[in-house]
């Protein structure tokens, strides 16, 4: 068995591009666009390589999400969110849901897209729109991503559960 054989029936797989797969976790909606996976002649699906999910999660939470506009979280029990530009309080209610489109390039793979949609809040002083906090979007990313993989019919590899 090689790294490109099916992890269920051991047949050879080929790369297939999935146009859209969606997943939600709480307020975060993730849409994977034109991303690669592997499929065998029986139609079993698996990640394009075993560590694909870990690579994508790392890319999103360490490289892409830190670049998004996001407020600063203050307080342990009564959470407050402060503007990243002027440190005034953000409006209590979200203004709208904003979609941030990210291009992902992982080693040896064709670039693909990830849309992250989440409510944005306006600063009460300078009007800048931003997410509540980077911590919040980072925390929700693994679950939203897992649901997008479910939507693409990629089951967890055998032996994981």
- The CA angle 36-116-82, to the nearest 5 degrees, is 150
- The Cα 153–Cα 159 span in angstroms is 17
Number of CB atoms found within 10 A of residue 31's CB: 18
Site for Zn ion in 24-43 (CB under 5 A): 40, 42
User: Does residue number 54 form part of the binding site for Zn ion (CB under 5 A)?
Assistant: no
Pick from 4, 5, 61, 85: which binds Zn ion (CB under 5 A)?
A: 85
In whole angstroms, how close is the CB of 73 to Zn ion at the nearest point? 15
- Does position 90 interact with Zn ion (CB under 5 A)? The reply is no
* Interface segment toward Zn ion; rule CB under 5 A; list 65-73, 121-129, 137-145, 147-155: 121-129
Q: Which residues in this chain contact Zn ion in the complex, by CB under 5 A?
A: 6, 8-9, 11, 40, 42, 44, 83, 85-86, 88, 123, 125-126, 128
């Amino acid at each position: 068995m090689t790294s490109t054989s099916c992890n269920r029936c051991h047949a050879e797989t080929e790369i297939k591009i999935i146009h859209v797969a969606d997943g939600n976790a709480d307020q975060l909606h993730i849409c994977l666009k034109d991303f690669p996976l592997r499929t065998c002649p029986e139609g079993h699906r698996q990640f394009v390589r075993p560590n694909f999910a870990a690579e994508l999660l790392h890319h999103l939470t360490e490289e892409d999400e830190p670049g998004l506009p996001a407020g600063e979280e203050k307080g342990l029990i009564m959470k407050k969110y402060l503007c990243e530009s002027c440190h005034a309080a953000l409006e209590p209610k979200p203004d709208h849901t904003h979609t941030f489109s990210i291009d992902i390039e992982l080693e040896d793979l064709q670039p693909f897209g990830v849309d992250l949609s989440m409510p944005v809040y306006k600063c009460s002083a300078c009007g800048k729109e931003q997410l509540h906090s980077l911590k919040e979007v980072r925390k929700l990313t693994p679950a939203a991503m897992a649901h997008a993989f479910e939507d693409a019919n990629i089951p967890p590899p055998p032996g994981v559960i």
